[in-house]
Amino acid sequence: MNMESFLSNNIKAALKNDPPGEWMPALPDKCIRLSSGYPEPSLVPTEQIKESVVSLLDMEKDLPLHYLGSSQIDKLKGHIHQRLTERAMGVQEDELLLTSGASQAIDLIARILIDENCVVALEAPTYMEALEIFQNYTEQFISIPVDELGLQTEKLEEMLKDRNENGLPLPRLLYTIPTFQNPTGTTMTKERRKHVIELADQYNFLIVEDDAYGELSFDQPSIPLKALDCEGRVLHVGSLSKVVAPGMRIGWVSAPAELITAMNWFKKDLDHPFSQATMATYLDKADLSERLNTLRTTYESKCGVLLSALEQYLPDSVSWYIPKGGYFVWVKVAGVDTSTLLTQALNEGISYVPGKYFYLQEQEGMSYLRLSFSYASKEEIVEGVRKLAKVIGGLE
């Protein structure tokens, strides 16, 4: 029986636009994973999470294992609320929604705001999963390039002016990762932050600020867009994935109450009460500020190792941005198709993410690759870059 005939028209279009199966190849067992945006293994608080589960279930018995039984879930909201307030993003209680990681937040945002008639503005390059999520809702995109100072807001303005003058539809929202962007590692300057908010006010669009890496700064923290926003145009998406553990799937979105109400409706009970209650119990005891300091120092040091190795081993034709936080270094290997190169790299025992995955127009990313310094050890990072240099050198 032909099952495809049962698929809805929207989904047929989305699948055509963005067919499944074009993922990263499987990594060999002993591969040095410079592709993985996972936290440093030694900094995942495994023991503390274990203790939190034991203490939660001793305290509340079966309650956290029902649908909404645990009083800890509200506490988790309190913890996140407090953290937002400390970062100058005071929000009301009805302006915060817990989600299953940042992914669910982005999906819910797309779900309530975007249909096939809407235009979405994206950074080029941008986070591949967000790109895929938005592609499930519309085919109309505008790409705005990112440079080492973040999103090029003057290009955004040009585009908006141009579309306005030509009667073309303006974007309903802009999705941006202003701080330690995935994949480029770059951070939007304060001037550009103010500019993008002015543009949103002037051209009446919303901004989705994906702030997954925002707290992992090596020096001065950046001011979130949400903290600069007077009109309530910024939907701030956060996550504990990079700060505690991704497998717990704790994320959130803070946004105007009307939008939170609509998102909550579509979320229904796709919550994970046990995971949320465990995280709340963990945060009750954890010193998050101290933890963040450890994370920052560790990642700064690992980033330094990666940058030194790149300097030492890679030919002059290869260049990169220097990140001030986050997980990633964005590398340009001029004239090389990094997607083809990956096969050789994997054979050599090192993985990265080819640039094409981060672009709407895949060919734009052809000579870029994303390296992550978060997961691999320092020794692996150096060895990985050496292997990468060998593979790139082998082309010459």
* Span 7-26, contacts to a second copy by CB under 8 A: 7-11, 15, 20-21
| Residue 106, amino acid | I
SS3 label, residue 285: helix
Q: How many CB atoms lie within 10 A of CB 312?
A: 11
Q: Provide, rounded to whole angstroms, the least separation between the CB of residue 181 and a second copy.
A: 19
Q: Provide, rounded to whole angstroms, the least separation between the CB of residue 219 and a second copy.
A: 27
Which residues, numbered 259-298, are part of the site for a second copy (CB under 8 A)? 259, 261-262, 264-266, 268-275, 277
CA 378 to chain centre: 23
Q: Provide, rounded to whole angstroms, the least separation between the CB of residue 62 and a second copy.
A: 4
Q: Provide, rounded to whole angstroms, the least separation between the CB of residue 209 and a second copy.
A: 16
Q: Which of 59, 69, 157, 349 binds a second copy (CB under 8 A)?
A: 69
Binding-site string for a second copy from residue 162 to residue 181, where x marks contact by CB under 8 A and - marks none: ----------xx--------
Q: Which of 79, 249, 324, 356 binds a second copy (CB under 8 A)?
A: 249
Q: Which of 136, 140, 317, 344 binds a second copy (CB under 8 A)?
A: 136
**Angle between the 101-113 and 128-135 helix axes, to the nearest 10 degrees?**
30
57 contacts a second copy (rule: CB under 8 A): yes
| Best CA proximity match to 122, nearest among 109, 112, 111, 135 | 135
Applying CB under 8 A, the span of 5-13, 210-218, 355-363, 385-393 interacting with a second copy comes to: 5-13
SS3 label, residue 144: strand
| Best CA proximity match to 194, nearest among 222, 166, 163 | 222
Number of residues that bind a second copy (CB under 8 A): 78
302 contacts a second copy (rule: CB under 8 A): no
CA 301 to chain centre: 22
Ramachandran angles phi, psi of 368, nearest 5°: -110, 160
| Best CA proximity match to 318, nearest among 226, 396, 233, 221 | 396
Applying CB under 8 A, the span of 101-109, 149-157, 302-310, 349-357 interacting with a second copy comes to: 101-109
Q: Which is nearer to a second copy, 15 or 286 (CB)?
A: 15
Which residues, numbered 103-132, are part of the site for a second copy (CB under 8 A)? 103-104, 107, 111-115, 117-118, 129, 132
DSSP assignment, residue 395? T
CA 306/CA 303 separation, integer angstroms: 5
| Best CA proximity match to 329, nearest among 181, 143, 210 | 181
374 contacts a second copy (rule: CB under 8 A): no
Which residues, numbered 223-242, are part of the site for a second copy (CB under 8 A)? 231-233
The residue count for the chain: 396
